[in-house]
Structure 1
Amino acid sequence: MQPIPRRRLVKILGYIAAWVVMSLAIAVTLFVSSERTVDIASHRATVSPDFSGRVVVHTGPVLPDVRLPSGSRLGVDVVLGKTDATSLDELMTRYAAIASQPEGQIAAVRRAIGSMAVAALVQGAGLGALPLVAWAAVGKQRRREIYRRLRGRDGFVAAGVVVVLAAAILVPIDWAKPDAPAERWQSLRSFVGPDVELPAEVRGVEVMSDATTEESHRLIESVVSGYKQGLEFYSRAAETATMLGLRLPEQDEKVTLLVSDRHDNIGMDKVARAIADKVGATTVFDAGDDTSTGSRWEAFSLDSVSAAFHDFEGRWAVAGNHDNGSFVRSRMESLGWTYFDDEVIDGPDGSRMLGVDDPRSSGLGNWKDEKGLSFAEVGDRLSDAACTADKAGDRPNVILVHDAAMAKGALERGCVDLVIGGHIHVQSGPTAITGANGKIGYTYTVGTTGGAAYAIAVGGKLRRPASIALITYKSGRPVGIQSILLQTNGQWEVAAWVPLTY
């Protein structure tokens, strides 16, 4: 193979360098002028990147804007838009809860910024190549002719036109835009006054102070109080969870975490993760009702539970009856959760699983495509699928549903090892059931992980005891369950590990 001549190599490298420089310059310009609309803090929000090194949140006409350091040269401008909150107090409660557990919202913003960066780089690479392609297409001889023509007055005029057009495109001027008022930022400490105790985590926050926000102190104090209460309660619970006397898996066993009925209580996510880390769990089941209504404003709850277990080997979920519509499932699937489409799939530790979303919501897989099926009819279809798979030698070890009653038929026919669910907000089981074929299976219901009363759990404290369970696997089969309860006063109750024998 002949080596590339030095002069030609320098020319090629020059083209590459020019392409890289132009591409990066265009990409940066496109990046800082781009924006995305995402669901943040129960709002439809617009996110725009910049290089200010700060995160600035524009909250609207009622509350003052806030900003804080981003921790890097990159900054973010967030404009909060429409929300489904029905009252100001409800909105303040949401703000306090989200602020105390912000990991999911941070991840959502990072995804948006990352997608804008990738899009800008791709567009920049394409646009940066256009001048070089045009340069090569014109050819050396034609370039010389053009150069000779441009040396005179016509060339001077053409160059001036090009400069003016470039300036008009790259530096647009809005002559009608009035001068913006000077911004007055002050620390959150000086805004709320010395009587309000601030957690260390928010001491770098600044607040926009102007005539429209002087009456917002009470609202800000409410948010800070709720933030502090939620942060302290759930942080303490996560810390004490690491000291619980939980049964640790043996060398040939693995453990899967089970949560259900979170109902927007993102505070419990760090607590559940702490329990999972304590026993070395790297897989998780979510039995549904992560939201209260299935609305877009509740995306913060889905983002939070996904961020809490983002690095797990396996995450399986079903939609609950309160996860109305298709939004919850589509959002969770986009964040890496595995849902079910009416057939047996791989589960933890080489096990086999079957599941179905609650028919009282929608967007629920193939069975739901058949309109008008009742809860009992979907349960019959589920049981038939389990027994068909069992007869074919592909026995489901676990059926994951929102309401364990849906898979009662599969247990009565002896076609499954374990049925797990939630829904009733009270822990029940494990209970052994001998099927018609003589095989033993178990049913188990975990309580509400969000500590929900009815469908409401978001807030600074638990409304009722919060429930989490650990399922032990051995050789691909569930062999034990341990139930864990966090009381509203922060005290833990750990039940004995219950073996599952077949």
Structure 2
Amino acid sequence: MTERRTPPRWLRWTLAAVAALVACLLYGVTTASATLGLGPHEALYEVDTDGLVVVDLGPLGTLEIDSPLPVGLGVDVTVKEIPADLTAVEDTTTLDRLAGDLDGYLQFYASPSTTFDAVAHALVLDAARRAGLALAAVGLVGWGVALLLGPARRGELTRTLAPRTWQLTAGFVVVSLVGATLVASDVEQPTRGRPASSVFDGTALEGATITGRLAGVIDTYGGQLLALYDQNEAFYAAARDDVAAAWRAWEVRHAVRVATGTDAPDDEDVVTMLVVSDLHCNTGMAGPIQEVATRAGVDVMLNAGDTTMNGTAVEKVCVDAFADAVPDGVPMVVADGNHDSQLTSDQEAARGQVILDGDVVEVGGVRILGDRDVLETRVGVGTSVARERTPTEQAGDLAEAACDDGDVDLLLIHTPPVGNRALESGCVPFQVSGHTHARSGPTQIGQGMRYVNASTAGAASGQATVGPLRGTAEMTLLRFDPTTRTMLDLQVVEITPAGAATVLDREPIPVPVPPVGELEVADAGSSDGPTSPTSAPASPSASSPASAPAAGDDATAEP
């Protein structure tokens, strides 16, 4: 009888480790799940082995498409918070919210790949977490069993099992394959519905099949929705092309002005920043924003807040769409607004964006101070103070932080009047804000200049931002000289509701005019020799409250 060869100890341990790792990975992958958004609703995504992505819409039926996952893996999607009885909708507020839900569905349909990418990333992370926990459990159980057996019994088992290493390994592989096959065959294969209407042709959902009442809904109304979708896609694609054409026209105009001495040649050492604000989930604007950022070669992007409408978890698709529009390697600095939330800030931070929270940060050589808005506005609900401070208290804190630092170049906040105290203190030379949906400035406030960017989503009062523009969308390029630490000029890019883009010429930033007392001293100094000004910038504690700005400013106004 031939004696079995016993594999070396290192090989036995390696095979055991690999076997445990494979088993834990299979467990992690096949049990992974994540809760993310689907349109306006939260949805539970669970990995299975049927090779399909099946969206369960309850009594409406299911939407089924072939899964993009490898090795026959699929995903079951259970949509939550679907009203069981739409006749229960009675009040205007609820109807308004349902209109907002429709916007959410359109956002998903306009860019489903953004949702799919987020889901895939979340499932991979959950699979890795589950596999890691399973591996740790296997290790602990193995250690516990070894401890209970004792040295003598472990030695006896080793002498018995070691010569059978290859047989045991082959047996483990066979059991794993059989187990995987049983798991796959035990999954109830969904009944493929009849092919959906041709409305899905040419979209990310092409080839999807429908079951239940949803099939009739798609047949009846799908063509109308697809027409809206195509209109939306065509509008923003054309708008992006028009932005490119307008930029090329401006470059020619600028080159002529440089040649004639009207404009100064571009300085490569300046920092170029692109300001966007009040995006309000209009993901269609991601393309034009990316076009401007790329063509201008921006070094930093500034988001003056209101990326979302309600700061909810399902609006992550909006955060992701705008994050994807940022050129590689360009940092995005964000001062979230009253329509955002702490959850929005967390979602943005997860995408690598710099979230302002009351401290000074240096990005691209620019020292930026800012904070998230203390107010929160929810559609159909209203506005409330969501943090431990009022706008006036936040204004004082920002002024104090600026003066304590002593070297702030830029204040980035959502609501313009909240920066008044910092500007009046003389500790902030330039402020960028949004909120009003209308461009204004640069306007001198105290010893600094304030610029308010219009809505980059073309947001119009009382109208949804999904679909072609209702108002003129604007974004602003700012150029900063890191040597003199001054803001040089601004340049506005506009897109009208007709889709026509315009790149305006650069506008020099005005130099703040000193107070009257300082002007008189300066005049005296020009005739009698150098003289120190008699009036110093006011301290934060002595400056006027942020709630008392120029007429018409209101820190609590909610566009």
Fold-level similarity (TM above 0.5): yes
Change (3 A) 1:71 1:462: farther
Q: Which residue of 2 is the match for residue 292 of structure 1?
A: 309
Change (3 A) 1:312 1:53: farther
Q: Which residue of 2 is the match for residue 346 of structure 1?
A: 362
Measure the CA separation in 1 of the matches of 2:180 and 2:66. 32
**One-letter code aligned to 1:265:** N
CA contact (8 A) 1:467 1:483 kept: yes
CA contact (8 A) 1:402 1:421 kept: yes
Measure the CA separation in 2 of the matches of 1:67 and 1:92. 22
SS in 2 for 1:183: coil
Q: Which residue of 2 is the match for residue 58 of structure 1?
A: 56
Q: Is 1:447 aligned with 2:454?
A: yes
CA RMSD, Structure 1 to Structure 2 (Å): 3.8
Q: State how many pairs are aligned.
A: 457
Q: Is 1:98 aligned with 2:105?
A: no
Q: Which residue of 2 is the match for residue 240 of structure 1?
A: 242
Q: Among residues 256, 260, 271, which one is paired with 2:273 in the alignment?
A: 256
**One-letter code aligned to 1:445:** V
Measure the CA separation in 2 of the matches of 1:26 and 1:499. 62
CA contact (8 A) 1:101 1:231 kept: no
Q: Is 1:464 aligned with 2:462?
A: no
Note the C-alpha offset of 1:474: 2.5
SS in 2 for 1:201: coil
**One-letter code aligned to 1:82:** E
Q: Among residues 273, 285, 301, which one is paired with 2:318 in the alignment?
A: 301
Alignment of 1:282-431 (within 5 A): 282-309=299-326, 311-323=328-340, 325-347=341-363, 349-361=364-376, 371=388, 373-390=389-406, 394=407, 396-431=408-443
SS in 2 for 1:184: coil
SS in 1 for 2:466: coil
User: Which stretch has the larger CA shift, 133-142 or 468-477?
Assistant: 133-142
**One-letter code aligned to 2:499:** G
Q: Which residue of 2 is the match for residue 481 of structure 1?
A: 490
Query: Residue deviations 1:91-140, cap 9 Å, x none?
Result: 44432232222353233213211211321331343245457646865478
Change (3 A) 1:429 1:102: farther
Change (3 A) 1:53 1:479: farther
TM-score (norm 1): 0.78
Q: Which residue of 1 is the match for residue 124 of structure 2?
A: 114
Change (3 A) 1:43 1:280: same
Q: Which residue of 2 is the match for residue 160 of structure 1?
A: none
Query: Residue deviations 1:195-245, cap 9 Å, x none?
Result: x5x663347331223466334423433432232222221122223323332
Q: Which residue of 2 is the match for residue 156 of structure 1?
A: none
Measure the CA separation in 2 of the matches of 1:340 and 1:29. 40
**One-letter code aligned to 1:459:** V
Change (3 A) 1:305 1:211: closer
Measure the CA separation in 1 of the matches of 2:367 and 2:347. 24
Measure the CA separation in 1 of the matches of 2:36 and 2:193. 28
Query: Residue deviations 1:146-195, cap 9 Å, x none?
Result: 69999xxxxxxxxxxxx99xx999968999x9x77732252xxxx325xx
Note the C-alpha offset of 1:58: 2.9
CA contact (8 A) 2:304 2:434 kept: yes
CA contact (8 A) 2:304 2:335 kept: yes
Change (3 A) 1:93 1:224: farther
Query: Residue deviations 1:292-312, cap 9 Å, x none?
Result: 233334332223223333844
CA contact (8 A) 2:282 2:457 kept: yes
**One-letter code aligned to 1:452:** A
Measure the CA separation in 2 of the matches of 1:144 and 1:378. 70
Change (3 A) 1:446 1:420: same
Query: Residue deviations 1:357-396, cap 9 Å, x none?
Result: 222239xxxxx8984x543343233223323333xxx2x1
CA contact (8 A) 2:31 2:127 kept: no
Measure the CA separation in 1 of the matches of 2:240 and 2:189. 46
Measure the CA separation in 1 of the matches of 2:184 and 2:70. 30
SS in 1 for 2:55: strand
Measure the CA separation in 2 of the matches of 1:379 and 1:9. 73
CA contact (8 A) 2:376 2:386 kept: no
Measure the CA separation in 2 of the matches of 1:455 and 1:335. 30
SS in 1 for 2:29: helix
Note the C-alpha offset of 1:145: 5.2
Measure the CA separation in 2 of the matches of 1:24 and 1:317. 42
Measure the CA separation in 2 of the matches of 1:380 and 1:433. 15
Measure the CA separation in 2 of the matches of 1:455 and 1:388. 41
Q: Which residue of 1 is the match for residue 153 of structure 2?
A: 142
TM-score (norm 2): 0.71
Q: Which residue of 2 is the match for residue 80 of structure 1?
A: 79
CA contact (8 A) 2:375 2:387 kept: no
User: Which stretch has the larger CA shift, 288-297 or 241-250?
Assistant: 241-250
User: Which stretch has the larger CA shift, 67-76 or 327-336?
Assistant: 67-76
Q: Based on CA coordinates, which of the two structures has the bigger radius of gyration?
A: 2
Note the C-alpha offset of 1:417: 2.2
Q: Is 1:271 aligned with 2:282?
A: no
Measure the CA separation in 2 of the matches of 1:263 and 1:456. 11
Note the C-alpha offset of 1:420: 0.4
Change (3 A) 1:125 1:374: closer
Note the C-alpha offset of 1:44: 0.9
Query: Residue deviations 1:54-108, cap 9 Å, x none?
Result: 5433334336414245275454332221269857665444322322223532332
